[in-house]
Amino acid sequence: MRDKGILVVVSGFSGAGKGTLMKKLVQAYDNYALSVSMTTRAPREGEKDGREYFFVPREVFEEKIRQGGLVEYASYCGNYYGTPKEYVEAQLEAGKDVVLEIEIQGALKVKEKFPSALLLFVMPPSAKELKRRLVGRGTETQEVIRKRLERAVEEARGIENYDYIVINDDLETCARELHSMVRAAHHAPYREEAFIEHIRQELDVLVKGEK
Ligand code: 5GP
């Protein structure tokens, strides 16, 4: 039987480069499935429905909540964001490591529901660089940038809840580091229970045979 995949939660300040990093990770390694969230925010230029997000009106989002169709959801800078349940469950079952790129409130809810989830936090090399990236994106108004920086200050207080931090300076290096953290997590003893039990039984048989 194939092992079940790991639920990998990736958070980080807006502008830390999570989106690009996730795309790189999925391109470079084939064990990942990237969950597409549902949101009530408007699409940015270049974003496509069903690719970056499922863009829906508030009523549709609220109906999805009522149906219990989300793993988690949160409100972020005035909009709803949530993780559709079906895809995540199917991909984990198929042995894929499922990546959720979500903010901190959602990440903590996932950890409550799935204590074995791996929580990673992507940091920019510096606060100045974060602002430079947010402004450079050119898709956000000054007001939105200000809100997102304020939100970063709040989120910075919760980083201790994560398993590892990753600094996104060089994209390739960062993707490689992130991948190695996920690989390492696969070898935690509680994920290797079947193998450990197998060796224990073999050892028992071996020791008995030598008596
Ligand atoms: P953005 O508007 O920049 O695409 O996303 C804003 C924030 O919402 C980011 O921190 C992103 O990680 C987070 N986010 C995206 N999808 C979800 C989701 O399904 N659930 C939660 N809780 N946060 C999400």
Q: Give residue-wise pLDDT tens across range 149-168.
A: 998 998 889 999 999 999 99
pTM of the model: 0.89
* 160 DSSP assignment: G
Distance from the alpha carbon of residue 186 to the mean position of ligand 1, in angstroms: 26
- How many angstroms separate the CA atoms of 33 and 25, rounded? 10
Give residues with Cβ within 8 angstroms of 29, minimum separation 6: 179
Q: DSSP E strands: which ranges in the chain?
A: 7-12, 32-34, 37-39, 53-55, 70-76, 79-84, 97-101, 118-123, 164-167
- How many angstroms separate the CA atoms of 100 and 54, rounded? 14
Question: CB–CB of 144/77 below 8 Å?
Answer: yes
Q: How many CA atoms lie within 13 A of 125 on its CB side?
A: 8
Report residues whose beta carbon is within 6 angstroms of any ligand 1 atom: 14, 37, 41, 72-74, 76, 81-83, 101-103, 105-106
For position 181, what pLDDT does the model report? 97
For position 54, what pLDDT does the model report? 97
Q: Which amino acid, one-letter code, is at 33?
A: A
Distance from the alpha carbon of residue 8 to the mean position of ligand 1, in angstroms: 14
The two three-digit tokens of residue 173, written as one number: 């290096």
**Nearest-atom index, ligand 1, CA of 105:** 22
For position 1, what pLDDT does the model report? 42
- Among protein residues, the one with the nearest Cα to ligand 1's atom 10 is 103
The two three-digit tokens of residue 198, written as one number: 């197998």
Distance from the alpha carbon of residue 201 to the mean position of ligand 1, in angstroms: 46
Cα–Cα nearest to 41, from 60, 21, 55, 24: 55
- Among protein residues, the one with the nearest Cα to ligand 1's atom 20 is 82
For the chain, percent of residues with pLDDT exceeding 90: 75
Helix axis angle for 142-156 and 127-137, nearest 10°, is 150
Distance from the alpha carbon of residue 103 to the mean position of ligand 1, in angstroms: 5
Mean pLDDT of 116-138: 91
Helix (H) or strand (E) holding 150: helix 142-156
